[in-house]
A and B are shown apart, each in its own frame.
Chain A
Amino acid sequence: MTEPADTLHIALRLARDDFRLDIELHLPGQGVTAVFGPSGSGKSTLLRAIAGLEPAAAGTVRIGTDTWQDADGSQPAHRRAIGMVFQHTALLPHLSVEGNLRYGWKRAAAADALLQRWIERLALAPLLHRRPDSLSGGERQRVALARALVTAPRLLLLDEPLSALDGERRAEILPYLEAVRREAGIPILYVTHAVDEVARLADHLVLLDAGRVMASGPALAVLNRGDLPLALREDAGVVLEATVESRDAHGLLSLRTPAGTLHAHGPAHAAGTPLRLRVQARDVSLALSRHDDSSLLNLLPATLTDLEPLAGGQVQARLDACGTPLLARISHRSVERLQLRPGMPVWAQIKAVALLV
Protein backbone atom coordinates (compact mmCIF):
# COMPACT_ATOMS: atom_id res chain seq x y z
CA MET A 1 0.00 0.00 0.00
CA THR A 2 2.98 2.27 0.44
CA GLU A 3 4.62 1.49 -2.92
CA PRO A 4 5.00 4.45 -5.25
CA ALA A 5 1.75 5.18 -7.01
CA ASP A 6 1.30 4.01 -10.59
CA THR A 7 -0.26 6.80 -12.55
CA LEU A 8 -3.06 5.84 -14.85
CA HIS A 9 -2.97 7.30 -18.32
CA ILE A 10 -6.10 6.93 -20.40
CA ALA A 11 -6.70 8.46 -23.81
CA LEU A 12 -9.64 6.84 -25.60
CA ARG A 13 -11.80 7.63 -28.57
CA LEU A 14 -14.85 5.74 -29.73
CA ALA A 15 -17.48 6.75 -32.27
CA ARG A 16 -20.88 5.12 -32.55
CA ASP A 17 -23.85 6.24 -34.61
CA ASP A 18 -25.26 8.59 -31.98
CA PHE A 19 -22.45 8.80 -29.48
CA ARG A 20 -18.82 9.89 -29.34
CA LEU A 21 -16.39 9.22 -26.54
CA ASP A 22 -13.27 11.37 -26.49
CA ILE A 23 -11.42 11.18 -23.21
CA GLU A 24 -7.95 12.06 -21.99
CA LEU A 25 -7.18 11.46 -18.34
CA HIS A 26 -4.21 11.22 -16.01
CA LEU A 27 -5.41 9.67 -12.79
CA PRO A 28 -3.70 8.99 -9.48
CA GLY A 29 -2.48 5.43 -9.05
CA GLN A 30 -4.20 5.02 -5.71
CA GLY A 31 -7.50 5.61 -3.97
CA VAL A 32 -10.98 5.80 -5.46
CA THR A 33 -11.59 7.82 -8.59
CA ALA A 34 -15.32 8.31 -9.06
CA VAL A 35 -16.49 8.61 -12.66
CA PHE A 36 -19.66 10.60 -12.40
CA GLY A 37 -22.14 11.91 -14.94
CA PRO A 38 -25.72 11.63 -16.21
CA SER A 39 -26.83 8.44 -17.94
CA GLY A 40 -25.61 8.36 -21.51
CA SER A 41 -22.51 10.42 -20.65
CA GLY A 42 -20.24 7.48 -21.48
CA LYS A 43 -19.22 6.40 -17.96
CA SER A 44 -19.80 2.70 -18.47
CA THR A 45 -18.41 2.77 -22.01
CA LEU A 46 -15.23 4.37 -20.69
CA LEU A 47 -14.87 1.64 -18.07
CA ARG A 48 -15.56 -1.10 -20.61
CA ALA A 49 -13.00 0.38 -22.99
CA ILE A 50 -10.37 0.42 -20.22
CA ALA A 51 -11.17 -3.25 -19.57
CA GLY A 52 -10.72 -4.08 -23.25
CA LEU A 53 -14.39 -4.91 -23.80
CA GLU A 54 -14.94 -2.26 -26.48
CA PRO A 55 -12.85 -3.40 -29.45
CA ALA A 56 -13.79 -0.27 -31.40
CA ALA A 57 -12.15 2.05 -28.85
CA ALA A 58 -8.81 3.45 -30.04
CA GLY A 59 -6.15 5.15 -27.98
CA THR A 60 -3.90 4.51 -25.01
CA VAL A 61 -4.45 2.70 -21.72
CA ARG A 62 -1.41 2.58 -19.48
CA ILE A 63 -0.90 1.95 -15.79
CA GLY A 64 2.59 2.66 -14.49
CA THR A 65 4.87 0.90 -16.95
CA ASP A 66 2.19 -1.57 -18.10
CA THR A 67 0.74 -0.65 -21.47
CA TRP A 68 -2.52 -2.40 -22.30
CA GLN A 69 -3.28 -0.41 -25.36
CA ASP A 70 -1.49 2.12 -27.56
CA ALA A 71 -0.95 2.91 -31.22
CA ASP A 72 0.93 -0.38 -31.67
CA GLY A 73 -1.93 -2.57 -30.57
CA SER A 74 -4.41 -3.56 -27.93
CA GLN A 75 -4.41 -6.42 -25.44
CA PRO A 76 -7.68 -8.35 -25.26
CA ALA A 77 -9.62 -8.18 -21.98
CA HIS A 78 -8.27 -11.49 -20.69
CA ARG A 79 -4.67 -10.22 -20.87
CA ARG A 80 -5.31 -7.02 -18.88
CA ALA A 81 -4.68 -7.23 -15.15
CA ILE A 82 -8.02 -5.70 -14.22
CA GLY A 83 -10.73 -6.70 -11.82
CA MET A 84 -14.20 -5.67 -12.93
CA VAL A 85 -17.54 -5.65 -11.14
CA PHE A 86 -20.57 -5.19 -13.35
CA GLN A 87 -23.83 -3.46 -12.55
CA HIS A 88 -25.62 -6.81 -12.72
CA THR A 89 -22.99 -9.00 -11.15
CA ALA A 90 -22.63 -11.52 -14.00
CA LEU A 91 -21.60 -14.31 -11.67
CA LEU A 92 -21.10 -17.58 -13.53
CA PRO A 93 -24.45 -19.29 -12.85
CA HIS A 94 -23.18 -22.86 -13.24
CA LEU A 95 -20.53 -22.49 -10.55
CA SER A 96 -20.82 -22.21 -6.77
CA VAL A 97 -19.61 -19.08 -4.98
CA GLU A 98 -16.30 -20.83 -4.41
CA GLY A 99 -16.16 -21.90 -8.06
CA ASN A 100 -16.70 -18.27 -9.09
CA LEU A 101 -13.93 -17.08 -6.77
CA ARG A 102 -11.51 -19.73 -7.97
CA TYR A 103 -12.29 -19.20 -11.68
CA GLY A 104 -10.21 -16.05 -12.11
CA TRP A 105 -7.91 -16.76 -9.16
CA LYS A 106 -6.74 -20.00 -10.81
CA ARG A 107 -6.24 -18.38 -14.24
CA ALA A 108 -4.34 -15.44 -12.77
CA ALA A 109 -2.18 -17.89 -10.77
CA ALA A 110 -2.62 -15.69 -7.69
CA ALA A 111 -1.50 -16.57 -4.16
CA ASP A 112 -3.64 -18.71 -1.89
CA ALA A 113 -3.33 -16.09 0.86
CA LEU A 114 -5.08 -13.55 -1.38
CA LEU A 115 -8.05 -15.84 -1.84
CA GLN A 116 -8.31 -16.52 1.90
CA ARG A 117 -7.89 -12.82 2.72
CA TRP A 118 -10.80 -11.59 0.59
CA ILE A 119 -13.04 -14.49 1.59
CA GLU A 120 -12.48 -13.35 5.17
CA ARG A 121 -12.65 -9.56 4.55
CA LEU A 122 -15.89 -9.79 2.57
CA ALA A 123 -17.35 -12.39 4.96
CA LEU A 124 -17.92 -15.00 2.26
CA ALA A 125 -16.98 -18.15 4.19
CA PRO A 126 -20.63 -19.05 4.97
CA LEU A 127 -21.60 -18.62 1.30
CA LEU A 128 -18.87 -20.66 -0.40
CA HIS A 129 -21.05 -23.62 -1.32
CA ARG A 130 -24.12 -21.60 -2.34
CA ARG A 131 -25.24 -21.13 -5.94
CA PRO A 132 -25.31 -17.57 -7.32
CA ASP A 133 -29.10 -17.73 -7.89
CA SER A 134 -29.67 -18.40 -4.18
CA LEU A 135 -27.86 -15.22 -3.08
CA SER A 136 -29.32 -11.80 -2.27
CA GLY A 137 -28.30 -8.82 -4.42
CA GLY A 138 -25.88 -7.57 -1.78
CA GLU A 139 -24.29 -10.99 -1.32
CA ARG A 140 -23.85 -11.29 -5.08
CA GLN A 141 -22.00 -7.97 -5.22
CA ARG A 142 -19.71 -9.07 -2.40
CA VAL A 143 -18.90 -12.26 -4.30
CA ALA A 144 -18.30 -10.26 -7.50
CA LEU A 145 -15.98 -7.88 -5.62
CA ALA A 146 -13.98 -10.73 -4.11
CA ARG A 147 -13.91 -12.59 -7.42
CA ALA A 148 -12.30 -9.56 -9.05
CA LEU A 149 -9.87 -8.88 -6.18
CA VAL A 150 -8.47 -12.43 -5.93
CA THR A 151 -7.07 -12.18 -9.47
CA ALA A 152 -4.47 -9.73 -8.05
CA PRO A 153 -5.51 -6.95 -10.44
CA ARG A 154 -3.54 -3.73 -10.89
CA LEU A 155 -6.75 -1.76 -11.35
CA LEU A 156 -10.26 -2.32 -10.03
CA LEU A 157 -13.19 -1.20 -12.20
CA LEU A 158 -16.59 -0.91 -10.53
CA ASP A 159 -19.51 -0.20 -12.86
CA GLU A 160 -22.38 1.16 -10.73
CA PRO A 161 -22.02 -1.69 -8.25
CA LEU A 162 -24.82 -0.38 -6.01
CA SER A 163 -27.36 0.74 -8.58
CA ALA A 164 -29.23 -2.59 -8.68
CA LEU A 165 -29.66 -2.58 -4.89
CA ASP A 166 -32.29 -0.96 -2.70
CA GLY A 167 -31.35 1.50 0.05
CA GLU A 168 -31.04 -1.10 2.77
CA ARG A 169 -28.78 -3.41 0.73
CA ARG A 170 -26.72 -0.40 -0.29
CA ALA A 171 -26.08 0.52 3.33
CA GLU A 172 -25.16 -3.11 3.93
CA ILE A 173 -22.48 -3.23 1.23
CA LEU A 174 -20.96 0.26 1.63
CA PRO A 175 -18.80 -0.77 4.62
CA TYR A 176 -17.38 -3.59 2.47
CA LEU A 177 -16.58 -1.14 -0.31
CA GLU A 178 -14.79 1.01 2.24
CA ALA A 179 -12.78 -2.00 3.40
CA VAL A 180 -11.81 -2.66 -0.22
CA ARG A 181 -10.82 1.00 -0.65
CA ARG A 182 -8.65 0.87 2.47
CA GLU A 183 -7.04 -2.51 1.92
CA ALA A 184 -6.87 -3.33 -1.78
CA GLY A 185 -3.88 -1.07 -2.35
CA ILE A 186 -4.74 -0.56 -6.02
CA PRO A 187 -6.45 2.31 -7.83
CA ILE A 188 -10.22 1.94 -8.12
CA LEU A 189 -12.36 3.49 -10.85
CA TYR A 190 -15.91 3.76 -9.58
CA VAL A 191 -18.72 4.60 -11.99
CA THR A 192 -21.83 6.01 -10.35
CA HIS A 193 -24.57 8.56 -10.78
CA ALA A 194 -25.23 8.93 -7.05
CA VAL A 195 -23.73 12.03 -5.42
CA ASP A 196 -23.75 10.50 -1.96
CA GLU A 197 -21.59 7.58 -3.14
CA VAL A 198 -19.11 10.03 -4.67
CA ALA A 199 -19.07 12.14 -1.53
CA ARG A 200 -18.61 9.13 0.68
CA LEU A 201 -16.06 7.07 -1.24
CA ALA A 202 -14.21 9.19 -3.75
CA ASP A 203 -10.73 10.68 -3.40
CA HIS A 204 -10.67 11.89 -6.96
CA LEU A 205 -13.55 12.80 -9.22
CA VAL A 206 -13.98 12.75 -12.98
CA LEU A 207 -17.06 14.46 -14.30
CA LEU A 208 -18.27 13.26 -17.69
CA ASP A 209 -20.85 14.71 -20.01
CA ALA A 210 -21.68 13.61 -23.56
CA GLY A 211 -18.54 11.53 -23.82
CA ARG A 212 -16.14 14.27 -22.68
CA VAL A 213 -14.35 15.14 -19.46
CA MET A 214 -15.88 18.26 -17.90
CA ALA A 215 -13.70 18.22 -14.80
CA SER A 216 -11.14 16.02 -13.11
CA GLY A 217 -9.54 16.68 -9.73
CA PRO A 218 -9.66 16.02 -6.00
CA ALA A 219 -13.19 14.88 -5.18
CA LEU A 220 -14.17 17.60 -2.73
CA ALA A 221 -12.75 20.38 -4.84
CA VAL A 222 -14.69 19.23 -7.91
CA LEU A 223 -17.88 18.53 -5.92
CA ASN A 224 -17.83 21.98 -4.39
CA ARG A 225 -17.04 23.87 -7.56
CA GLY A 226 -19.84 26.20 -8.39
CA ASP A 227 -19.32 26.41 -12.13
CA LEU A 228 -20.32 22.84 -12.99
CA PRO A 229 -23.77 21.47 -13.74
CA LEU A 230 -23.45 19.52 -10.50
CA ALA A 231 -24.06 22.76 -8.59
CA LEU A 232 -27.41 23.38 -10.27
CA ARG A 233 -28.97 20.00 -9.58
CA GLU A 234 -31.90 19.70 -7.23
CA ASP A 235 -29.62 17.98 -4.72
CA ALA A 236 -26.72 20.43 -5.06
CA GLY A 237 -24.59 20.86 -1.99
CA VAL A 238 -21.10 20.81 -0.61
CA VAL A 239 -19.07 18.13 1.08
CA LEU A 240 -16.91 19.01 4.06
CA GLU A 241 -14.11 17.12 5.75
CA ALA A 242 -14.74 17.01 9.49
CA THR A 243 -13.18 15.65 12.66
CA VAL A 244 -15.24 14.40 15.61
CA GLU A 245 -14.66 16.56 18.71
CA SER A 246 -17.10 15.07 21.17
CA ARG A 247 -20.46 13.37 21.55
CA ASP A 248 -22.95 14.36 24.24
CA ALA A 249 -25.34 12.14 26.20
CA HIS A 250 -28.10 12.63 23.61
CA GLY A 251 -25.91 11.39 20.76
CA LEU A 252 -25.20 14.84 19.33
CA LEU A 253 -21.76 15.02 17.75
CA SER A 254 -19.62 18.15 17.68
CA LEU A 255 -17.75 18.20 14.40
CA ARG A 256 -14.86 20.46 13.60
CA THR A 257 -14.80 21.57 9.95
CA PRO A 258 -12.74 24.21 8.16
CA ALA A 259 -15.92 26.31 8.00
CA GLY A 260 -16.54 26.16 11.76
CA THR A 261 -18.03 23.72 14.24
CA LEU A 262 -21.20 21.87 13.24
CA HIS A 263 -23.49 19.56 15.17
CA ALA A 264 -25.23 16.43 13.97
CA HIS A 265 -26.75 13.31 15.44
CA GLY A 266 -24.80 10.20 14.69
CA PRO A 267 -23.38 6.95 15.95
CA ALA A 268 -20.64 6.85 18.56
CA HIS A 269 -17.34 7.87 17.01
CA ALA A 270 -14.14 8.33 18.99
CA ALA A 271 -12.85 11.89 19.23
CA GLY A 272 -10.53 12.57 16.33
CA THR A 273 -12.36 10.30 13.84
CA PRO A 274 -12.33 11.85 10.36
CA LEU A 275 -15.74 12.05 8.68
CA ARG A 276 -17.28 13.60 5.61
CA LEU A 277 -20.39 15.73 5.85
CA ARG A 278 -22.72 16.82 3.14
CA VAL A 279 -24.66 20.04 3.40
CA GLN A 280 -27.31 20.47 0.72
CA ALA A 281 -28.11 23.91 -0.64
CA ARG A 282 -31.81 23.51 0.11
CA ASP A 283 -31.01 22.95 3.81
CA VAL A 284 -29.19 26.27 4.17
CA SER A 285 -30.91 29.63 4.70
CA LEU A 286 -29.38 33.06 5.31
CA ALA A 287 -29.72 35.68 8.02
CA LEU A 288 -28.10 39.07 8.38
CA SER A 289 -27.60 38.78 12.12
CA ARG A 290 -26.96 35.94 14.49
CA HIS A 291 -30.18 34.51 15.91
CA ASP A 292 -29.29 32.90 19.21
CA ASP A 293 -32.97 32.50 20.00
CA SER A 294 -33.48 30.12 17.08
CA SER A 295 -33.80 26.34 17.50
CA LEU A 296 -31.18 25.84 14.83
CA LEU A 297 -27.89 24.54 16.19
CA ASN A 298 -25.77 25.14 13.17
CA LEU A 299 -24.91 28.73 12.47
CA LEU A 300 -21.80 29.73 10.57
CA PRO A 301 -20.52 33.19 9.75
CA ALA A 302 -19.78 33.52 6.03
CA THR A 303 -19.37 36.00 3.23
CA LEU A 304 -21.81 36.05 0.33
CA THR A 305 -19.79 35.68 -2.85
CA ASP A 306 -22.31 35.19 -5.61
CA LEU A 307 -26.03 34.98 -6.38
CA GLU A 308 -27.25 32.88 -9.25
CA PRO A 309 -30.92 32.93 -10.28
CA LEU A 310 -32.50 29.49 -10.77
CA ALA A 311 -35.82 28.48 -12.28
CA GLY A 312 -38.95 28.82 -10.16
CA GLY A 313 -38.15 32.11 -8.35
CA GLN A 314 -35.20 30.54 -6.55
CA VAL A 315 -31.70 31.87 -6.17
CA GLN A 316 -28.58 29.89 -5.38
CA ALA A 317 -26.26 31.79 -3.10
CA ARG A 318 -22.59 30.94 -2.89
CA LEU A 319 -20.89 31.61 0.40
CA ASP A 320 -17.39 31.56 1.68
CA ALA A 321 -17.05 30.33 5.25
CA CYS A 322 -13.42 30.73 6.31
CA GLY A 323 -12.26 29.68 2.87
CA THR A 324 -14.75 26.80 2.51
CA PRO A 325 -17.52 27.14 -0.05
CA LEU A 326 -21.15 26.66 0.98
CA LEU A 327 -24.32 26.75 -1.12
CA ALA A 328 -27.68 28.11 0.00
CA ARG A 329 -30.94 27.93 -1.91
CA ILE A 330 -33.23 30.84 -1.07
CA SER A 331 -36.16 32.58 -2.70
CA HIS A 332 -35.79 35.57 -4.96
CA ARG A 333 -38.09 37.43 -2.59
CA SER A 334 -35.70 36.92 0.34
CA VAL A 335 -32.84 38.30 -1.72
CA GLU A 336 -34.83 41.49 -2.30
CA ARG A 337 -36.13 41.78 1.25
CA LEU A 338 -32.68 41.33 2.81
CA GLN A 339 -31.07 43.34 0.00
CA LEU A 340 -28.42 40.70 -0.42
CA ARG A 341 -25.32 41.67 -2.41
CA PRO A 342 -22.08 39.82 -3.07
CA GLY A 343 -19.48 40.75 -0.44
CA MET A 344 -22.00 41.04 2.39
CA PRO A 345 -21.34 39.20 5.68
CA VAL A 346 -24.19 36.78 6.46
CA TRP A 347 -25.04 33.95 8.84
CA ALA A 348 -25.61 30.57 7.21
CA GLN A 349 -28.36 28.72 9.07
CA ILE A 350 -27.96 25.00 8.41
CA LYS A 351 -31.03 22.86 8.99
CA ALA A 352 -29.51 19.47 8.30
CA VAL A 353 -26.08 17.95 8.06
CA ALA A 354 -25.67 14.48 6.59
CA LEU A 355 -22.89 12.30 7.94
CA LEU A 356 -21.38 10.33 5.09
CA VAL A 357 -19.09 7.91 6.87
Chain B
Amino acid sequence: MEAALPAWLLATWVTLKLAGLTTLILLLLGMPLAWWLAHTRSRWRLPIGAVVALPMVLPPTVLGFYLLISLAPDGPIGQLTQSLGLGTLAFTFHGLLLASVLYSLPFVVHPLQAGFTAIPRATLEAAATLRAAPIDRFFSVVLPLARPSLITASLLGFAHTVGEFGVVLMVGGNIEGQTRVLSVLLYDQVEAMDYADAHVLAAGLLLFSFALLLLMQWLGRRTAVGHD
Protein backbone atom coordinates (compact mmCIF):
# COMPACT_ATOMS: atom_id res chain seq x y z
CA MET B 1 0.00 0.00 0.00
CA GLU B 2 2.48 2.55 1.19
CA ALA B 3 4.91 1.87 -1.63
CA ALA B 4 2.22 2.91 -4.06
CA LEU B 5 2.01 6.44 -2.65
CA PRO B 6 4.18 9.15 -4.18
CA ALA B 7 7.38 9.98 -2.27
CA TRP B 8 6.36 13.58 -1.53
CA LEU B 9 3.07 12.50 0.02
CA LEU B 10 4.80 9.98 2.30
CA ALA B 11 7.39 12.57 3.29
CA THR B 12 4.63 15.13 3.97
CA TRP B 13 2.83 12.65 6.19
CA VAL B 14 5.99 11.83 8.16
CA THR B 15 6.81 15.53 8.48
CA LEU B 16 3.35 16.53 9.73
CA LYS B 17 3.19 13.59 12.13
CA LEU B 18 6.63 14.41 13.50
CA ALA B 19 5.95 18.15 13.86
CA GLY B 20 2.50 17.59 15.36
CA LEU B 21 3.66 15.06 17.96
CA THR B 22 6.76 17.10 18.78
CA THR B 23 4.63 20.20 19.40
CA LEU B 24 2.19 18.29 21.57
CA ILE B 25 4.93 16.71 23.70
CA LEU B 26 6.75 20.04 23.97
CA LEU B 27 3.63 21.86 25.17
CA LEU B 28 3.08 19.25 27.87
CA LEU B 29 6.73 19.23 28.97
CA GLY B 30 7.32 22.90 28.27
CA MET B 31 4.52 24.32 30.41
CA PRO B 32 5.78 23.03 33.77
CA LEU B 33 9.38 23.73 32.75
CA ALA B 34 8.57 27.29 31.63
CA TRP B 35 6.51 27.88 34.79
CA TRP B 36 9.41 26.71 36.92
CA LEU B 37 11.88 28.92 35.02
CA ALA B 38 9.53 31.91 35.31
CA HIS B 39 8.99 31.63 39.07
CA THR B 40 11.79 29.70 40.78
CA ARG B 41 14.43 31.33 42.91
CA SER B 42 16.56 28.20 42.77
CA ARG B 43 20.25 28.56 41.92
CA TRP B 44 19.66 26.00 39.18
CA ARG B 45 17.50 28.41 37.23
CA LEU B 46 20.33 29.94 35.20
CA PRO B 47 22.19 26.71 34.29
CA ILE B 48 18.95 24.97 33.36
CA GLY B 49 17.82 28.01 31.39
CA ALA B 50 21.10 27.85 29.47
CA VAL B 51 20.69 24.14 28.74
CA VAL B 52 17.18 24.78 27.43
CA ALA B 53 18.54 27.52 25.15
CA LEU B 54 21.48 25.41 23.86
CA PRO B 55 19.74 24.03 20.73
CA MET B 56 19.36 27.61 19.48
CA VAL B 57 23.09 28.03 19.01
CA LEU B 58 24.42 24.48 18.77
CA PRO B 59 25.07 23.13 15.25
CA PRO B 60 22.30 20.53 14.73
CA THR B 61 24.95 17.99 13.81
CA VAL B 62 26.50 18.26 17.28
CA LEU B 63 23.19 17.47 18.94
CA GLY B 64 22.59 14.72 16.39
CA PHE B 65 26.03 13.22 16.98
CA TYR B 66 25.63 12.96 20.76
CA LEU B 67 22.11 11.62 20.38
CA LEU B 68 23.32 8.98 17.97
CA ILE B 69 26.01 7.89 20.45
CA SER B 70 23.44 7.78 23.28
CA LEU B 71 20.88 5.88 21.23
CA ALA B 72 23.40 3.27 20.04
CA PRO B 73 23.05 -0.25 21.55
CA ASP B 74 25.85 0.45 24.06
CA GLY B 75 24.82 4.08 24.74
CA PRO B 76 22.89 5.08 27.90
CA ILE B 77 19.54 5.66 26.16
CA GLY B 78 20.09 2.60 23.95
CA GLN B 79 20.65 0.39 26.97
CA LEU B 80 17.58 1.81 28.69
CA THR B 81 15.30 1.26 25.69
CA GLN B 82 16.68 -2.25 25.17
CA SER B 83 16.09 -3.18 28.80
CA LEU B 84 12.50 -1.93 28.39
CA GLY B 85 12.15 -4.21 25.37
CA LEU B 86 11.91 -1.31 22.90
CA GLY B 87 15.05 -2.12 20.91
CA THR B 88 17.21 0.78 19.82
CA LEU B 89 15.78 4.09 18.63
CA ALA B 90 18.44 5.19 16.16
CA PHE B 91 17.05 5.42 12.61
CA THR B 92 13.46 5.01 13.81
CA PHE B 93 10.57 7.46 13.94
CA HIS B 94 10.63 7.48 17.75
CA GLY B 95 14.32 8.29 17.82
CA LEU B 96 13.59 11.12 15.43
CA LEU B 97 10.77 12.31 17.70
CA LEU B 98 13.09 12.37 20.72
CA ALA B 99 15.66 14.37 18.73
CA SER B 100 13.02 16.84 17.54
CA VAL B 101 11.73 17.40 21.06
CA LEU B 102 15.22 18.33 22.25
CA TYR B 103 15.99 20.40 19.17
CA SER B 104 12.80 22.50 19.29
CA LEU B 105 12.66 22.82 23.11
CA PRO B 106 13.72 26.50 23.38
CA PHE B 107 11.29 27.56 20.66
CA VAL B 108 8.40 26.40 22.83
CA VAL B 109 9.77 27.09 26.32
CA HIS B 110 10.91 30.68 25.69
CA PRO B 111 7.56 32.11 24.52
CA LEU B 112 5.79 30.26 27.33
CA GLN B 113 8.25 31.56 29.91
CA ALA B 114 7.81 35.12 28.64
CA GLY B 115 4.04 34.71 28.77
CA PHE B 116 4.07 33.32 32.32
CA THR B 117 6.46 36.02 33.56
CA ALA B 118 4.15 38.74 32.21
CA ILE B 119 1.25 37.65 34.44
CA PRO B 120 1.39 39.91 37.51
CA ARG B 121 1.77 38.11 40.82
CA ALA B 122 -1.06 40.24 42.22
CA THR B 123 -3.49 38.80 39.66
CA LEU B 124 -2.74 35.27 40.84
CA GLU B 125 -2.89 36.35 44.49
CA ALA B 126 -6.26 37.96 43.88
CA ALA B 127 -7.49 34.68 42.39
CA ALA B 128 -6.20 32.86 45.49
CA THR B 129 -8.14 35.21 47.79
CA LEU B 130 -11.19 34.39 45.62
CA ARG B 131 -10.92 30.73 46.74
CA ALA B 132 -9.14 29.39 43.62
CA ALA B 133 -6.72 26.54 44.43
CA PRO B 134 -3.37 26.39 42.57
CA ILE B 135 -4.46 24.01 39.77
CA ASP B 136 -7.70 25.96 39.42
CA ARG B 137 -5.66 29.19 39.11
CA PHE B 138 -3.53 27.63 36.37
CA PHE B 139 -6.54 26.75 34.24
CA SER B 140 -8.76 29.74 35.05
CA VAL B 141 -6.14 32.52 35.07
CA VAL B 142 -2.73 31.47 33.75
CA LEU B 143 -3.81 29.63 30.60
CA PRO B 144 -6.31 32.27 29.42
CA LEU B 145 -3.83 35.08 30.05
CA ALA B 146 -0.94 33.20 28.41
CA ARG B 147 -3.00 32.18 25.37
CA PRO B 148 -1.09 34.38 22.90
CA SER B 149 2.18 32.87 24.15
CA LEU B 150 0.71 29.39 23.88
CA ILE B 151 -0.21 30.01 20.24
CA THR B 152 3.22 31.47 19.46
CA ALA B 153 4.94 28.54 21.18
CA SER B 154 2.89 26.00 19.23
CA LEU B 155 3.46 27.66 15.86
CA LEU B 156 7.20 28.13 16.47
CA GLY B 157 7.66 24.59 17.74
CA PHE B 158 5.79 23.18 14.76
CA ALA B 159 7.54 25.32 12.15
CA HIS B 160 10.97 24.73 13.62
CA THR B 161 10.44 20.96 13.56
CA VAL B 162 9.33 21.08 9.92
CA GLY B 163 12.46 23.07 9.15
CA GLU B 164 15.01 20.75 10.78
CA PHE B 165 17.50 18.87 8.64
CA GLY B 166 20.84 18.17 10.29
CA VAL B 167 19.49 16.35 13.33
CA VAL B 168 17.14 14.31 11.15
CA LEU B 169 19.90 13.16 8.89
CA MET B 170 22.16 12.19 11.82
CA VAL B 171 19.57 10.43 13.98
CA GLY B 172 16.75 9.40 11.65
CA GLY B 173 18.50 8.71 8.42
CA ASN B 174 16.43 8.56 5.29
CA ILE B 175 13.91 5.71 5.43
CA GLU B 176 10.88 6.31 3.24
CA GLY B 177 7.60 6.36 5.18
CA GLN B 178 9.41 6.32 8.52
CA THR B 179 12.08 8.94 8.86
CA ARG B 180 12.28 10.66 5.49
CA VAL B 181 10.85 14.15 6.02
CA LEU B 182 10.32 16.88 3.42
CA SER B 183 13.64 18.65 4.00
CA VAL B 184 15.53 15.37 3.46
CA LEU B 185 13.45 14.51 0.41
CA LEU B 186 14.39 17.86 -1.08
CA TYR B 187 18.07 17.08 -0.46
CA ASP B 188 17.61 13.72 -2.23
CA GLN B 189 15.93 15.35 -5.20
CA VAL B 190 18.71 17.89 -5.58
CA GLU B 191 21.35 15.16 -5.30
CA ALA B 192 19.53 13.23 -8.02
CA MET B 193 19.42 16.41 -10.16
CA ASP B 194 15.58 16.25 -10.08
CA TYR B 195 15.26 20.03 -10.14
CA ALA B 196 11.65 20.09 -11.38
CA ASP B 197 10.36 18.27 -8.29
CA ALA B 198 12.83 20.10 -6.03
CA HIS B 199 11.41 23.43 -7.24
CA VAL B 200 7.87 22.39 -6.33
CA LEU B 201 8.91 21.11 -2.91
CA ALA B 202 11.14 24.07 -2.05
CA ALA B 203 8.47 26.57 -3.10
CA GLY B 204 5.89 24.64 -1.09
CA LEU B 205 8.03 24.73 2.06
CA LEU B 206 8.78 28.41 1.52
CA LEU B 207 5.09 29.24 1.19
CA PHE B 208 4.20 27.13 4.23
CA SER B 209 6.78 28.84 6.44
CA PHE B 210 5.78 32.29 5.21
CA ALA B 211 2.10 31.59 5.84
CA LEU B 212 2.83 30.33 9.35
CA LEU B 213 4.90 33.38 10.28
CA LEU B 214 2.31 35.68 8.75
CA LEU B 215 -0.36 34.00 10.87
CA MET B 216 1.81 34.52 13.96
CA GLN B 217 2.33 38.20 13.21
CA TRP B 218 -1.37 38.67 12.62
CA LEU B 219 -2.34 36.91 15.85
CA GLY B 220 0.29 38.89 17.75
CA ARG B 221 -1.01 42.18 16.40
CA ARG B 222 -4.60 41.24 17.15
CA THR B 223 -3.81 40.49 20.81
CA ALA B 224 -1.78 43.69 21.14
CA VAL B 225 -4.71 45.75 19.83
CA GLY B 226 -7.16 43.81 21.98
CA HIS B 227 -5.26 44.79 25.11
CA ASP B 228 -5.28 48.52 24.50
Binding site for B on A (CB under 8 A): 51-53, 76-80, 82-84, 86, 88, 90-94, 103-104, 107-108, 133, 147-148, 151
Contact = CB atoms under 8 A, between A and B. Distances in A.
Given A103-B140, A133-B227, A90 B123 contact: yes
Interface residues of B, number: 20
A77 B129 contact: yes
Contacts of A86: 122, 125-126
Nearest to B143: A94
B141 interface: yes
Contacts of A88: 122
B128 A94 contact: no
A93 B126 contact: no
B144 interface: yes
Interface in B88-122: 120, 122
A94 B129 contact: no
Contacts of A52: 128
A51 B141 contact: no
A103 B129 contact: no
Given A51-B129, A78-B134, 18 more contacts: A53-B128, A53-B129, A78-B129, A78-B132, A78-B133, A80-B129, A84-B126, A86-B126, A90-B120, A90-B122, A90-B126, A93-B145, A93-B227, A94-B145, A103-B132, A104-B130, A133-B228, A148-B129
A107 B126 contact: no
Contacts of B132: 78, 103-104, 107
B128 A78 contact: yes
Contacts of A90: 120, 122-123, 125-126
A196 B126 CA distance: 27
A144 B6 CA distance: 62
B126 A92 contact: yes
Interface string B15-52: 00000000000000000000000000000000000000
A76 B123 contact: no
Nearest to B137: A78
A82 B129 contact: yes
* Shortest 9 CB-CB contacts between residues of A and residues of B: A104-B130, A107-B131, A90-B126, A77-B128, A90-B122, A84-B129, A94-B144, A78-B128, A78-B131
Contacts of B130: 78, 103-104, 107-108, 147-148, 151
Interface string B38-78: 00000000000000000000000000000000000000000
Contact of A103 (B122, B127, B228): B127
Nearest to A107: B131
5 contacts: A76-B128, A78-B134, A90-B120, A93-B123, A107-B136
Contact of A151 (B123, B131, B140): B131
Contacts of B134: 78
Contacts of B141: 92, 94
The secondary structure that dominates the B interface is helix
A101 to B, nearest CB: 10
A92 B131 contact: no
Nearest to B119: A93
A83 B129 contact: yes
Contacts of A147: 130
A14 B122 CA distance: 20
A51 to B, nearest CB: 6
Nearest to A150: B130
Q: Which of A76, A93, A148 has the most CB of B within 10 A?
A: A93
B227 A77 contact: no
A324 B120 CA distance: 48
A147 B130 CA distance: 8
A108 B130 CA distance: 8
A77 B122 CA distance: 13
Nearest to B127: A92
Nearest to A108: B131
A151 B145 CA distance: 23
A53 B123 CA distance: 12
A104 B131 contact: yes
Contacts of A104: 129-132
B175 to A, nearest CB: 46
Nearest to A144: B126
Contacts of B145: 93-94
A83 B136 CA distance: 18
Contacts of A103: 127, 130, 132, 140
B61 to A, nearest CB: 43
Nearest to B144: A94
Q: Which of B130, B132, B134 has the most CB of A within 10 A?
A: B130
Contacts of B120: 90
A104 B125 CA distance: 12
